[in-house]
Amino acid sequence: MKSIFHPSLVNGPFEDPALYIDFLYEKRAVLFDLGDLHLLPPRKILRVGDVFVSHTHMDHFAGFDRMLRIMLARDKVLRLYGPPGFIDRVEHRLASYTWNLVERFEAEFTIVAAEFDGAAEMRSAQFRCRRRFVRERDEITAVGNDIILDEDSFRIRAVLLDHGIACLAFALEEKAHVNIMKNRLLEMGLGVGPWLTELKRAVLKGGDGETIFRAWWREGGGVREAFLPLKVLRENVLRVVPGQKIVYVTDAVCSDCNSRRIAELARGAEILYIEAMFLLEDQAMAREKRHLAAAQAGRMAGLAGVGRADFFHVSPKYSDREEAVRREFGEAFIDGLRWRHDE
């Protein structure tokens, strides 16, 4: 299965958290957390339409200023999601600047900030550049099954974790993955082209099978086309399989409640990105700081049965002991997988 989501950590394991996920075939990306973004070029930042912030400690939110600076004069909507109190934090950050010239901008850059209470409601507010980012349009919407964003091809789930404050963990779930069987395509006399992306979208939306779909492609210097019922294309050239799942977990104390919520969120994920702030020898400090130790994080990943687990957000005190962190995390991951298998 060819992945449509391409995740990559923006920084190294001892630096600020930020996970960039690029969408294949689309000029779009999402971000989990807004740590230092200076390694992310402007062209990549401009692809981002949705940002999911675990909490607003500085190392998770300082990158907001760089993103704001790059997007400011663009005709664009940026949606931000965070824990309770997040809208006020965004409002205060915007209010820290002077906006006396923005009325002259031709583009209308807009920020929509939303906060999830971890239960059943999400509040949102809008901030428009040419109105000097004055808060407006406060709304409350219902949230079901922890889904804070629901689109045709994917959804984002969020759960509230304890970090001494409310902190969100996130899962990006592709609803289904549509594979093109190119040999069948050629057998039907059809060519490859941008129309296949539209076909995938139509199938994922559950389009009416009787709808006539236009297939078109370039061939011999011209454009060829064919018109077929959607159900014929779906049955003959497509294979629908379960989609990708990518989970992001950071800044959480090792507690029964957090462990349970992380396991439920991460179960069956293809990739889990999880913090590993301390070595187990410093687990007392980990509990005091409300973070996970590497062994705790690795075991949680194994118990959740994820396909792959990557650690990040490690204390700089271990900058010369990265291999020890890696070993402790990896051994605990394997132990968790073994325990899960034997259960």
Domains of the chain, by residue range, sit at 1-176, 177-241, 252-343
Residue 98: how many other CB atoms lie within 10 Å: 8
User: What's the rounded Cα separation, in Å, for the pair 199 and 235?
Assistant: 12
Is residue 18 helix, strand or coil?
A: coil
Summarize pLDDT for 117-169 with one digit per residue, the tens: 999 999 999 999 999 999 999 999 999 999 999 998 899 999 999 999 999 99
**Given this model, what pLDDT does residue 200 score?**
81
Tokens coding 47:
């692809």
Say which DSSP state 332 is in. Answer: H
In whole angstroms, give the CA distance from residue 326 to residue 312. Answer: 10
CATH code for the domain defined by 1-176 = 3.60.15.10
Given a cut of 90, whether residue 274 has pLDDT beyond it is: yes
pTM of the model: 0.89
Q: Is the pLDDT of residue 3 over 80?
A: no
The whole-angstrom distance between residue 111's C-alpha and the CA centroid of its chain comes to: 18
Cβ atoms of residues 71 and 38 within 8 Å: no
